[in-house]
Amino acid sequence: MNRAQVPGFSLAVLANALLLFLATSCTGGSPERPRTTQRDSAGVMIVENEGSMPTNGAGWSLTPEPTLSIGTVGGAEAYQFYGVAGAHRFDDGRIGVVNAGSREVRIFGPDGSLLASFGRQGAGPEEFEMPVLAGVMGGTLLVLDRAHHRIAYVDPDRGFVGLVRVADEVGGYLNPAGTFANGHSVFGGAFDMRRIGERRNGMNRAHTYYRSSNPDGSLAADFGDKDGAEYFIKDLEGSGPESRPVLTPFAKVPVATVSPEFLYFSDQDAYEIQAHDPSGRLVRIIRLALDPAPVTPADGERYVQSVVEEIGDPEQAAAVRSQLGSLPLPQFFPPHGAMLADAPGYLWVEDFQRPGAENRAWNVFSPEGALAGRLTLPERFSPLEIGSNYLLGVGWDELNVEYVRMYGLSRPGG
């Protein structure tokens, strides 16, 4: 029986409390350490965290430089990346990369040398149009092609070893959240077209859903309707840009990730994260007491400027500035940013990235939901996979050239 499923006071709760006590005692009971409590609520374990962890301390650290970096500016095309859409480190040290720009899955050796490449652009059984890594099952990459609503099974040695179509009942636009240890892949977060009629002028909140598919593509579980992204419509009855939904600056959007055992979901109304088991049952809610951060007009201007700077055409930039500048600002920033579950079952939650702020810190929660660590990630780096002793992701240089990079990770107790 899973500890999160034990109602009321139990030996499992007592064991967790003892572990938390020992962790505090071993570090001298620092006042910076969080206070974690657990209680059962109708079969759902509520985990409350108050306080904070020392950043880059308590036994958590990253290597200052990458232990592996793959990529080039003007070298061989096989080492140039564009639109990296997933990466995985195999048990033998090889690295699999989904490079959406070239519609390929590339396999690199532990030293970063190219070993094999599978796929190309097209609609055939060994081709891709919109590839993204949906997960890994038994050492095989599950590569979703959104354009064709199907998953290709790609073995690092043999290439394409299977192809299944994802059933329509799993979802329309497939946005992968990850794959459970049992091979069920989870999709969700897209706008739910069934609720399109609820739109109105002004601020709206979309609805979304999360569902999983079996290895053969059929529906496995429905995790239920969820709150989706916040958006604004100026004139629903009009025409042109003012009648279309637009994400407001600092809008709340659904965030999800999958560990071997749980789907973690947050609608960002608060620092509250749901944990569902593969059957779809809610088993745990993780909370962190955090004062909301207010949004100022200067924050809005920095946001607009950051978007406009990415647009080369002056006329288009002016139009975008005018549209974004007229959108309302929320009272507070979302409570957090992205989430990523690691191989040992820990949940990593990014601080919300405010415009102009150099804050790249992530909170790390234990598999039981206790705040266990806090780390600052390197600049211009986004993690895609976290193992027991590494972070694998995509990095960018000053010219925004993409690199696949890996950093060594140390955890408390080695």
| Residue 332 confidence (pLDDT) | 96
CB count, 10 Å around CB of 395? 20
pLDDT for 238 equals 79
Q: Average pLDDT over the chain, rounded to whole? A: 89
pLDDT tier at 123, thresholds 50, 70, 90:
very high
Query: Taking residues 333-338, what's their average pLDDT?
Result: 96
- Mean pLDDT score, 355-380: 91
* Residues 367, 208, 223, 150, CA torsion sign: negative
* In the predicted structure, residue 3 carries a pLDDT above the cut 80: no
Which has the closest alpha carbon to 245: 323, 329, 331, 322?
323
Average pLDDT over residues 98-111: 98
pLDDT tier at 197, thresholds 50, 70, 90 = low
- pLDDT score for 357: 74
- The answer on pLDDT for 258 being more than 80 is yes
16 pLDDT more than 70: no
Q: What mean pLDDT comes out for the span 34-47?
A: 95
Residue 32's pLDDT is 59
pLDDT of 212 > 50? The answer is yes
For the segment 81-90, the average pLDDT, to the nearest whole number, is 98
pLDDT beyond 60 at 31: no
Band of residue 413 on the pLDDT scale cut at 50, 70, 90: confident
Percentage of the chain modeled with pLDDT above 90: 72
**CA separation for the pair 384, 83 (Å, rounded):** 13
Residue 1 in this model has a pLDDT that exceeds 60: no
pLDDT at 7 over 80: no
Check if the beta carbon of residue 376 is closer than 8 Å to that of residue 360: yes
Average pLDDT over residues 23-31: 40
| Mean pLDDT confidence for 303-307 | 89
201 C-beta neighbours (distance < 10 Å), count: 14
- Whether pLDDT at 171 is above 70: yes
The pLDDT value recorded for residue 359 is 72
